[in-house]
Amino acid sequence: MMRLIIEPIVRAALLEDLGRAGDITSDAIVPAGARVEAVIAARQPGVIAGLEAALLTFELAEPTLRIERLRADGARVARGDVVARIAGTARGVLAAERTALNLLSRMSGVATATRVLVDAISGSRARIVCTRKTTPGLRTLEKEAVRLGGGSNHRFGLDDAMLIKDNHLALAGGVRPALERARAHAGHLVKIELEVDTLDQLAEALEVGVDAVLLDNMEPQTLRRAVAMVDGRAVTEASGRISPDTIAAVAATGVDLISSGWITHSAPILDLGLDIAC
């Protein structure tokens, strides 16, 4: 991810923690010249994401810190694995520590949760995709974490693809008028996906033509019939009631994509810590 894009996020996160007066504890206790060496290590196994943002936190807090990346974003780590080393003024390291870990552990949590789902359907043709149920302000980083965990991205916002939902259908008066209006307004590089609740809606959508269909809250046998009906004419996405336990059955229906809000809205963090040698 380009630094230009993530720097405003990191800078704001750091300033949120520093407040008006900065790290008053370290300023009082730690001599200005004191130096430390620190490592960021995993406290549990998982997939790393957000490392670039975390290391930028240290750099913004104190440009003279020496920062060494030992693992790449996307790497699988075991408990105890060291992902980066930071050396320099103790004040600089301590001022950035919490913000850096907040970014890193949260994004690694998203990547790890994604990887759990990806692994649960390995062998199938399906891919895991995210949703727009992301943390306000962190969508770009979370979408990247999903990719690093082996998933694929759904649209990034309301403006880069059309997703026609039940309310749109009600307001438009049905599948056909909704799809026709969508096609008439969409630029040639804008894809259109339609959420369908029934196989009748699906049939109508296929008649009109659509890039992708979101098969919402369907049982595996219904999904299987839907996939057969579509027969390659659109991308198929299963959605709703997805859990690590049930996902394999969904994948077995032959859908192309399985979307999960959980990987971004409710994934627990991956525990990572900073160990300092003074």
For residue 219, give both structure tokens.
Answer: 């049982």
* Of the candidate residues 228, 241, 249, 276, the single one contacting its own copies (CB under 8 A): 276
* Of the candidate residues 71, 76, 85, 181, the single one contacting its own copies (CB under 8 A): 181
193 in contact with its own copies (CB under 8 A): yes
The catalytically annotated residue of 69, 71, 76, 98 is 98
Give the Cα separation of 265 and 50 in Å (integer).
Answer: 16
Which listed range, 79-87, 196-204, 245-253, 255-263, lies at the site for its own copies (CB under 8 A)? 255-263
102 three-class SS: helix
Encode burial over 23-38: b for 16+ CB neighbours within 10 A, e otherwise: beebeeebeeeeebeb
Give the Cα separation of 102 and 136 in Å (integer).
Answer: 15
67 in contact with its own copies (CB under 8 A): no
228 in contact with its own copies (CB under 8 A): no
187 in contact with its own copies (CB under 8 A): yes
* Of the candidate residues 237, 242, 255, 258, the single one contacting its own copies (CB under 8 A): 237
| Residue whose C-alpha is closest to residue 39's, from 278, 252, 275, 205 | 275
The catalytically annotated residue of 66, 125, 165, 241 is 165
- Return the residues of window 69-88 that contact its own copies according to CB under 8 A: none
32 in contact with its own copies (CB under 8 A): no
Residue type, 256: D
Give the Cα separation of 6 and 274 in Å (integer).
Answer: 22
Per the annotation, the verdict on 143 as an active-site residue is no
- Return the residues of window 119-148 that contact its own copies according to CB under 8 A: 129, 132-140, 143
Per the annotation, the verdict on 98 as an active-site residue is yes
